[in-house]
Structure 1
């Protein structure tokens, strides 16, 4: 396993690498004009006192604001600067400047410096390697766009005043692109769980899924102590660059979290508390282990508990609080641990980062080619073939032929010898079953069918095409006796031979209503009243999703 520091360095290199790669397609303003960069992200060496001029403030350092507004340095000095925190590293290609909208104050020349951590700074240079002095504005209204000779990768940008007209006052924007500032883990793709939750009012609120940042409700813990948490499963491990929080919206009561910690994991067994890389905040972390999907942990202190990183939460139930991470990390699971709250623990949470776009990998799937990767609940789970009628005979057949697990082994080879075969030699309606290992909410099933070598031999495999009528999917919390019919109320859905839909390479069966259960079953039906009753169904891979 990577060490904590090594993992953090890898995450930072991933972020810089993504920004450096030629994958940016939307090059434009990074947030000063649009407001995506919030007021607290704009700072300065000094600012003209508000009691002297109320129109001078860092928050007014935005291009195109109304007249009279702008940032005004307190002193007429070439050591003054205005700093913009982009939140997440960006590929910066240009800078825009404008004077204060009063007709008399603007910066005529400036330099720019940049940093990834606000500690180590470099000046933007020209083609000769010298610190570049940019030509500024010629009046207080026109906008000047200055291209960089070469793009830079930075999170923080400083504008240093060099020369000015009457007073160093300016408004600015930064141009470029950001790849890792996107919301991730949002429903329905992100899955949310919690240590406990209130179940009052018939689940109309307070459920873990109500704790997503887009909700107008919130997650509410059942217990009020520091052992509570809400967890976001984002799918394949991805780069996390920021976190969002809000209070509970759907009540007149004032419920929100004022202070919390964050931990992360890739397997729910080994967890790390988030720790900052620089020396502005507490540094240290704990590592703990726990069985998967449980809330019982064995704590292994790495350093002292009083040094754990703490985040400031909310001050009301409406305002969204954003924290950009100085140490981005790669993880699948992220937990928020409230440690202080107003009245009761209630919160909504969200994540910012890089949406995962690569191959889903083992244990994940895409419902279609353009959706994010989500967990495949069936991957490598225990599976078997059964017939409701000749159970014992078919068990003997299963021992000879085996192969039920081929449908959940993650191998998408559609050759016949890599697939699971259902036939009706020992029963009218053969059934393939998988045990998910836990009760889960089932939204649909994807079946990848046999399309490999041998299918063109209609003489040898004619029963597959001619006599198979439909595949029916059921969801159950417990398996029924062999004489019971699955055609009760547990059917998720089916696909039939109508318009040859049954013989497509990929069959998507979306449940007709929300289903909940531990077992998923695929039953093969033959064509009724056929002169030949023999048929086969070939399942090369079965994927199940919530």
Structure 2
């Protein structure tokens, strides 16, 4: 038992046993073997070697040991491994491999291993970078990086359960981790102004998806089978005319996250194209889930193609995680359901990554708005004008959404046949936040618009086409696939305008249109 000792400060301390160090004594001193291990009383090591950052010091036989709080390491817990900065590499500002620096290593970028990562950590990364939330969590191997300045290792990151900032997370060093194949990448929420598909093509067009992975419910003939469904092929897949529920299925070897659908009609056959379809997905090929409309919670019906060769893209608000994907043609231009297809997304994903994408996406959906007054009459007839009218029975004011509900009316606005720049104009009466337009075909007649452009103005003099300033081209929107179903076209962000024009480009039967403008009348309400 060691005695107490009074220090110069007057403090009385209890001495503790410590193992004497004899290994460094030169052999010429001939230390007896029985003295190779012996103990002596010494001042506690923890008195002069205090652990930093709240670490707990414990005496040991030969000195002391610091037990560090989460986020600190080193003999005295002197190193701070909390995240200092985050960036994405190999992709774009909003997606790529996650790399971090720490407070104690501010110039070393470290890749993040999938082990211990969570979807919440992905959210924290996106929010740190200024984005609303995370769209998807994927493998870093999907983003090529030739080199990474100052990258020396791959680490795991741990975050408290209730963490609200990535700066409250810390890294832990792990040996023998592959920084290229097992790193984490995130895809953050963005406002996709130009509707550019996120991710990469899964490989229908390129052939990366093999023929064996494609299955069809039927084919019209052997020359119009599944091999022709690939985007930009020289023909198309056409289902049998007596197939009442046609579908085409793609089976992936591993889980994919699907973010967009790209379709075409039959090459060089103007009238052969699918005009509407639904999509479904499955993880086992037996239980199928149809994609839902985010605003109505009903099965989403996608508008198809308005000609045979243009590619119509539909981005998917909540990415679809699946091993099996099906597209179900519903309507066609001339009963020949001709389709060419590509999907975009991220994959393949392992089970760990797949699990992170099963939570609900928190990205803000486009603002729906409400009718601005065309349908209900708040906007007067005098505020609805057009480039031309077919005759006095089909003026701009005859094109109110859902109008003409009696057989004798057959309402719609129709322009003259010789009008080469057709448009209908809506004066909202005040500067408003416009979120989109709704278009509809002619009541009780097979006449409808299949594609439109939209332009807007503040002064009725200077006109701008929707998204042209941001995307460098005038956006063409797929419109109706029948004469009764309204098609809502929403802008990624509201536009500020008093005047809105809808420009019909292509149509079935006759250029006949009913319409509405949707938005928020009072800018202070946004």
Q: TM-score range by the shorter chain?
A: 0.3 to 0.5
Bigger radius of gyration among the two: 2
TM, length-normalised to structure 2: 0.32
TM, length-normalised to structure 1: 0.31
